[in-house]
Structure 1
Amino acid sequence: MFDINGGELVVLFVVAALVIGPQRLPAYAEQLAHLVRRGRDWVSQARTRLDEEAGDLGVDWEALDPRKYDPRRIVRDALVDEPSSARRASGAVVGIVPAASAPLAGPAPFDDEAT
């Protein structure tokens, strides 16, 4: 967000401590701690309110986890999956083209001169 690395952050803290001074530094540190606590409480309350208002949406978030995405499993499940009863009742299966003639008996033809 601010593109500040660890070394730059330490330098900023040292400069702030020198500018603020040792007398006022404890008061400012206490104010910062109070601000951080209020921010945490606000975020916690917002999460609680969001959970209460959204309720149970009926979504299986574990199944939608992208870390569990395995294309091999998805393809295997799609190929093994039986066609739905609606498609079987109509006699059409999506993705399969009906054959114009009976399947060929024997091996597939081979062209010696093909590159």
Structure 2
Amino acid sequence: MLGINGGELVVIIVLALVLIGPERLPRYAAQLGALVRRGKSVLQDAKTRVDDELGEDFRDVDWGKLDPRQYDPRRIVKEALLDDEPAARRPAAAAGAGAAAAAATVPVARPAGAPAPFDDEAT
């Protein structure tokens, strides 16, 4: 969690015992315990208030799915590429609609000798 292993924790505890001293250590330990209990209470109250404010609709939301650490761009692209069905496997109605849309975008032939269209605002 904090990147402290067992040996480092023992060194910190020994240093705390030496620097604080045995007469003040119980008082500081009690203050630390009260601080941890207060923090836990504040977090629980905040969680309860957020749940009350959001209502019933958000209680069944799986927040783990929204964790940005789970997104792997390579996996997302791979799934997106594999999800598309080839044109031969599509239903006939969808293929017909696609053909109609493609036919609507075919450019009209221009008369012979007419200049090519040019859009001076496009460049």
Give the TM-score taking structure 1 as reference length.
0.51
Counterpart amino acid of residue 45 in structure 2: Q
CA spacing shift, 1:60–1:27, aligned 2, 3 Å = closer
CA spacing shift, 1:37–1:93, aligned 2, 3 Å = farther
Displacement of 1:93: 4.2
CA spacing shift, 1:38–1:81, aligned 2, 3 Å = farther
Give the structure 1 partner of residue 55 of structure 2.
55
Partner-residue secondary structure (3-state), 2:16:
helix
Displacement of 1:58: 5.7
Q: Does 1:24 align with 2:24?
A: yes
Matched residues, percent identical? 38
Displacement of 1:37: 0.3
Partner-residue secondary structure (3-state), 1:23:
coil
- Structure whose residues are more often helix by fraction: 2
CA spacing shift, 1:29–1:8, aligned 2, 3 Å = same
Equivalences for residues 1-115 of structure 1 within 5 A: 4-6=3-5, 7-57=7-57, 61-62=61-62, 65=65, 71=79, 75=83, 79=85, 92-93=97-98
Tell me if the contact between 2:51 and 2:59 (Cα under 8 Å) persists in the aligned partners. Answer: no
Partner-residue secondary structure (3-state), 1:35:
helix
Give the structure 2 partner of residue 111 of structure 1.
none
Displacement of 1:57: 3.9
CA spacing shift, 1:13–1:58, aligned 2, 3 Å = closer
Give the TM-score taking structure 2 as reference length.
0.48
Tell me if the contact between 2:17 and 2:25 (Cα under 8 Å) persists in the aligned partners. Answer: yes
CA–CA separation in structure 1 for the residues paired with 2:60 and 2:97: 31
CA–CA separation in structure 2 for the residues paired with 1:81 and 1:48: 49
CA spacing shift, 1:61–1:81, aligned 2, 3 Å = farther
RMSD: 4.3
Q: Unaligned regions of 5+ residues in structure 1, if any?
A: 99-115
Counterpart amino acid of residue 18 in structure 1: V
